[in-house]
Amino acid sequence: TQSTWDILSVYFFSFFLFPYSISFHRSAMEYSADDAAYLTKIGAVHLVNDMVQHLIDTRPQNVLEGLAEWLRVQIKASELRPLMSRVPSVTFKTRVRDESVGGPNPFRWQDVTSEEVFKGKKVVLFALPGAFTPTCSSTHLPGYETKYDELKGLGVDEVVCLSVNDAFVMYQWGKHQGAEKVKLLPDGNGEFTRKMGMLVNKDNLGFGMRSWRYSAFIEDGEVKKLFVEAGLSDNCATDPFEVSDVDTMLAYLKGR
């Protein structure tokens, strides 16, 4: 009955979700690689919240069958967001200039693996919703480009900007931005972003699947620090930009 489902939802919220939601919905999320217990709670909040909402919406006659259907939907839609302590192993499809190709567009495809990007290096990675979009173009990328040398002075080997855009778009955006120091990495099919647990749906803007805005300090493939903008969700009405900026990263690196 309606009252039964209402009681169930209140029970879950009061005794399970509420204590963790207080931590989850902070103004910004800061994850440390050592904080495995907290990451587990965050993952549980995502899963249980989705599960309870599914049961409330569908009200199946058999709760176990309802849970099984929810799980099938989650797996099919790839919405089980893993929270990584190490970067995922993927292959990025990039374009590199090669004069031997000839013609007016002397570029060729070149696969670049996660290992090539992160192994044996200290890397600052920042991810954003899209090339040529306002905040990404006016503040996010320019901030890291301008203060690149400061980051290098703190022991960073490379600074990488990632977006769920193809190699052609990322190249043209970097050229338009005059980005000469920050490396632009195209995650065209969103595989890296999905496996990082940061792939969100932005259909409300006509974008499709994109990256949530975040930054990370990665050492030899291990995520040492992760700054995630508040409100991680599909079709978010706002675009928070408070903690993934270069100044927050600089403050963290100076305090290590």
The total of other beta-carbon atoms located within 10 Å of residue 208's CB is 11
Task: Give one DSSP letter per residue of 214-244, joined into a string.
Answer: EEEEEETTEEEEEEEES---TT-SS---SSS
The residue whose two tokens read 């040398």 is: 149
Kindly name the residue from 39, 55, 124, 136 that is annotated as catalytic: 136
Contact of 196 with 88, CB cutoff 8 Å: yes
What's CA 20's distance to the chain center, in Å? 21
Question: What angle (nearest 5°) sits at the alpha carbon of residue 232, between those of residues 160 and 118?
Answer: 25
Tell me the CA distances in angstroms from 103 to 1, 28, 97, 100, 158, one per residue in order. 70, 48, 12, 9, 31
CA separation for the pair 192, 194 (Å, rounded): 6
Question: What angle (nearest 5°) sits at the alpha carbon of residue 191, between those of residues 189 and 193?
Answer: 105
| Nearest alpha carbon to residue 190 among 164, 153, 223 | 164
Tell me the CA distances in angstroms from 77 to 74, 82, 194, one per residue in order. 5, 14, 11
23 strand-pairing partners: none
236 is known as an active-site residue? no
Catalytic residue numbers read 136
